[in-house]
Structure 1
Amino acid sequence: MQGEGALAADKADLSSVIDRSRAGELMPAMTVSDPAGNRFNLAAAQGTPVLLNLWATWCAPCVKEMPQLDDLAGEYGDSLRVITVSQDMGGADKVEPFFAQMQFEHLEPWMEPELELGFALESQSLPTTVLYDASGREVWRVVGEYDWSSAEVREAIAEAIA
């Protein structure tokens, strides 16, 4: 349980706050695409817990998190699907070279350049990461930079996998 200090955290410092205020909300049934034009409806991910991350190539905290999210995806394998969705308005022209440079082993380059997913999640900040359980219901979210390599995050993810 987090102490009162964490609950009263300044809005500018959201790096360590797991927010459960939207727990139970359904994952938006929206379609994302990859650079090749393949489409994926997020609602099709139900059946496995999902860690959904909104990011952009121009967002320094987002770029910093991506290798940790790739490691997390590799660590959890089939028990947790990590879906990163670029909010770059340049779409594949921005995302494809970024993924090529970073050489991720487990992340896929999903994009949603219309920015509708951010509105659906009611988040205007990047990065925004939401954990959904296997039925597609929100467990918690983090808005802002987070240490995805921490023991704390593994305890929090266990809530959806258990």
Structure 2
Amino acid sequence: MVRLNRREILAGCAALAATSLPAMAADEAHLQFLGLAKPALAIDTPELNIPDLAGKIHQVGDYKGKTVLVSFWATWCPPCRKEMPTLARLSRELGTDDYAVLAVNIGDKPEKIASFLDQIDHEGMPILMDQNSELPSKWFLRGLPVTYILSPSGEVAYGAIGERVWDSPAMVSGIRSIHEAS
């Protein structure tokens, strides 16, 4: 029996979808080009139930009606560190009426997170803390960074494994197309 990891599953889905590009909408091809793939396995509406740096608990249901990016990261992860400012700029670009960008730290202590955040642009983006590392198994995380895009109904619509430039014009356009299609 061959066992595939999540990266291999998502890559396979993108490759399979690429073989049928003529039948696909232009937006779907654009999203695949950006490295966003529909999850190969159905993920029930995921949970958060974790605090932000100020102690406020966040739930997926708090964002009903919005397209939500949930990006999982850690301070020790170089690709995570590199993409964090692009997520903050994306958050500001999209605004908060129809979108939310959440950065979920996995396993770091609040002091370490604060020290890291002092060094980067993170303005306008909630920083959530999963100090006990409970979410990786619930969100199928096998590495970092991983970002999921939730539809306005709270279901996982797309996923991305690895670093992205989230504030590029093409990515902003792609994320807006996800929201408009919902």
TM-score (norm 1): 0.81
CA distance in 1, matches of 2:134, 2:126: 19
Q: Structure 2: 5+ residue runs without aligned partners?
A: 1-11, 17-33
- The code of the aligned residue for 2:131 comes to P
User: Percent identity among equivalent residues?
Assistant: 28
The more displaced of 101-110 and 111-120 is 101-110
The yes-or-no answer on 1:68 pairing with 2:86 is: yes
- The code of the aligned residue for 1:68 comes to T
The structure that has the greater radius of gyration is 2
Other-structure match for 1:86: 105
Q: Report Cα offsets for 1:7-30 as digits up to 9, x if no partner.
A: 28xxxxxxx532213486443122
CA distance in 2, matches of 1:47, 1:106: 19
CA distance in 2, matches of 1:117, 1:57: 16
* TM-fit CA distance, 1:93: 1.8
* TM-fit CA distance, 1:81: 0.3
- The code of the aligned residue for 1:7 comes to A
Q: Report Cα offsets for 1:10-65 as digits up to 9, x if no partner.
A: xxxxxx53221348644312211123332222332222110000001110000100
Q: Structure 1: 5+ residue runs without aligned partners?
A: 9-15
RMSD: 2.4
Aligned residues between the structures:
151
CA distance in 2, matches of 1:121, 1:49: 17
- The code of the aligned residue for 1:54 comes to F
Other-structure match for 1:7: 15
The more displaced of 129-138 and 21-30 is 21-30
The yes-or-no answer on 1:132 pairing with 2:160 is: no
CA distance in 1, matches of 2:135, 2:115: 22
Paired residues of 1:24 and 1:139 also in contact (CA < 8 A): no
* Residue 22 to residue 159, structure 1, CA distance change in 2 (3 Å): farther
CA distance in 2, matches of 1:77, 1:47: 14
Q: Which has the higher helix share?
A: 2
* TM-fit CA distance, 1:84: 0.4
SS of equivalent to 2:176: helix
The yes-or-no answer on 1:120 pairing with 2:138 is: yes
Paired residues of 2:105 and 2:128 also in contact (CA < 8 A): yes
TM-score (norm 2): 0.73
Higher relative contact order (CA 8 A, sep 6+): 1
* TM-fit CA distance, 1:103: 4.4
Paired residues of 2:149 and 2:157 also in contact (CA < 8 A): yes
